[in-house]
Amino acid sequence: MLSKQKKTGIALTGCAALLLLAVFFCIPLNAPMALRWALAGTAAALLAASACVMWRRGAANLRRNGDAGPRLTMMRRSGSFDIVVLLVSLALIAAVLWLTGLISYNSTFAFHARQAAGTGPVPRTLEEARLLPDFVEYNFKKDLNLLAGTFPGWGAFALLAAGLALVMLLYMALVSPIVRADDELRISHGVYRRAAQYFFAVLTVLVILFPIYWMIITSFKTSEELMQTIPTLWPVRFVWENYPNVLRRAPFVRYLLNTLISTLGIMCGELTIGVLAAYGFSKGSFRGKNVLFMLVLGALMVPIQVTFVPIYVLISRMNFIDTWMGLILPSLVSAYFVFMLRQNFMSVDNSYIEAGKIDGMGRIGTIVYVLCPMCKPTLITVGIISFINGWNSYFWPKMVTKTEASRTIAVGVQQLKNTFAGQEVSNYNEIMAGAVMAIIPIVLLFLFLQKYIMTGMSKAAMK
């Protein structure tokens, strides 16, 4: 149980955190600067009061009994010391990049300044150079390399990382001994850690879900409300007609049908070929098996943009452009799924394979009646991920489909911009309505089958 002092300190710290959060929200709301400083000052005063209340007993015990060991040794045993080393390393790397960018920036500026000045005095700053008629700022910025153009950001990152490292070092050197000297204070800091974990977990979820929330509420807004300078977080008036308008302006049902057929074809192909290949690489015995498997893993490193041209030429010569086969054929094999299933099959003991052979099963029977039932979670996971990837695929369907009869849902949503005589319009509310309808099957699939995804992923990671 915590004493009354510790509970008071926790309450003061919580109030200070809320005030600091209010200061953060004052920035986008353009609150008066005096209010921001007042909230920040009050939060600092509450933190100081909380420290005085909570650290008094620990500081007294530390003066009376001393620390549990040498200060540097205790700091190095702390898990936070590794984070400090990482922050210092990042700060040093960022400082080197900042210095390199600064040198490159100055040399590029000096070159352009001398050219613009001619025989006159050479300007030393960008503001002075802008006064010269021959100085072209566009050409100067175009000649800057990546580091020269971003060196202020690297400098800010270096200062931030170094500042965080310094704060953590001071905490480990000054505060941690006081915490170690008071058992109740350790429990109180455990409460702080749990509260921080919940806060950052909720913040991460909000950051991830906010684009989906924005898409949904935008689908119910009017076009006039979308064009406002200050966006609204809730529709002034719900416009339900956006969804029927999407179905009237474009053959959305046809898009859904094309996507469903192509996605199911891809999923069945990846599962069938993946299972057969995984069986060969896990339970087969033939010359060059490991070399061939390394080639399969090498395919994971090759993006589709690299192989796009030869695949497109091949599909074109097979007359599969603007057809379902053109959508399905290039995605029938997934190197990642072969690897995932192979790792799962290797976890199955060979005694089960031998028992199947004794019962008269062949290779296909062994795969269907032995391996697949034992690796069911991974197979379901592969099927779900394959379905999601096929449903969300955009690049290849955009290249291979030419007419409304074969376009998929991802390409069809983008085509909603051109629903007025081929002209792009600002109907983002209808585009968002189409996007909402496009993600509904995926969201439902994930909600009902998420436990299989987690189970399959965990089993595939173990041999």
pLDDT tens-place string over residues 399-447: 888 887 888 888 888 777 765 544 445 678 888 888 888 888 888 887 8
Residue 231 has pLDDT above 50, yes or no: yes
Apex 107 CA angle, 104 and 109, nearest 5: 105
Helix axes 335-346, 252-283, angle to 10 degrees: 40
Judge contact between 372 and 363, C-beta under 8 A: no
- Domains of the chain: total: 3
Residues 366 and 285 in one domain: yes
Asked whether residue 427 falls in the same domain as residue 445, the answer is yes
The answer to whether position 222 is within a domain reads no
Whether residue 435 sits in one domain with residue 367: yes
Based on the domain organization, do 376 and 300 belong to the same domain? yes
Residue 255 within any structural domain of the chain: yes
Say what the pLDDT of residue 155 is.
92
Domain assignment of residue 219, yes or no: no
d(CA 32, CA 17): 20
Residues 378 and 308 in one domain: yes
Shared domain for 148 and 274, answered yes or no, is no
Q: Is residue 223 part of a domain?
A: no
Letter string b/e over residues 434-450, b meaning 16 or more CB atoms within 10 A of that residue's CB: bbbbbbebeeebeeebe
pLDDT tens profile 272-331:
998 998 888 888 888 888 888 888 888 878 877 788 888 888 888 888 888 888 888 888
d(CA 158, CA 167): 14
- CA-based end-to-end distance of the chain: 45
User: Tokens 């050219």 sit at which residue?
Assistant: 115
Evaluate whether residue 214 is within a structural domain.
Answer: no
298/429 same-domain check: yes
The domain of 56 spans: 1-66+181-209
Same domain for 400 and 437, yes or no, is yes
Residues 74 and 58 in one domain: no
Residue 334, Cβ neighbours under 10 Å: how many?
Answer: 24
Task: Look up the CATH number of the domain holding residue 271.
Answer: 1.10.3720.10
Q: Residue 171 corresponds to which tokens in the numbers above? A: 């905490």
The domain boundary residue, chosen from 168, 193, 209: 209
Is residue 152, in this structure, part of any structural domain at all? yes
Question: How much is the mean pLDDT over the chain?
Answer: 83
Share of the chain above pLDDT 70, in %: 92
Q: What does the chain come to in residues?
A: 463
Residues 310 and 452 in one domain: yes
Angle at 337 between CA 336 and CA 341, to 5 degrees: 125
- pLDDT value at position 364? 84
Q: Worst-scoring range by mean pLDDT, 42-46, 58-62, 174-178, 415-419? A: 415-419
In a domain, 382, yes or no: yes
Looking at the structure, do residues 417 and 308 belong to the same domain, yes or no?
yes
- Considering the domain boundaries, does residue 218 fall inside one? no
pLDDT at residue 423, rounded to an integer = 46
- 3 and 33 housed in the same domain: yes
pLDDT 10s digits, 330-380: 888 888 888 888 888 888 888 888 888 887 888 888 888 888 888 888 888
Domain's final residue, options 161, 179, 197: 179
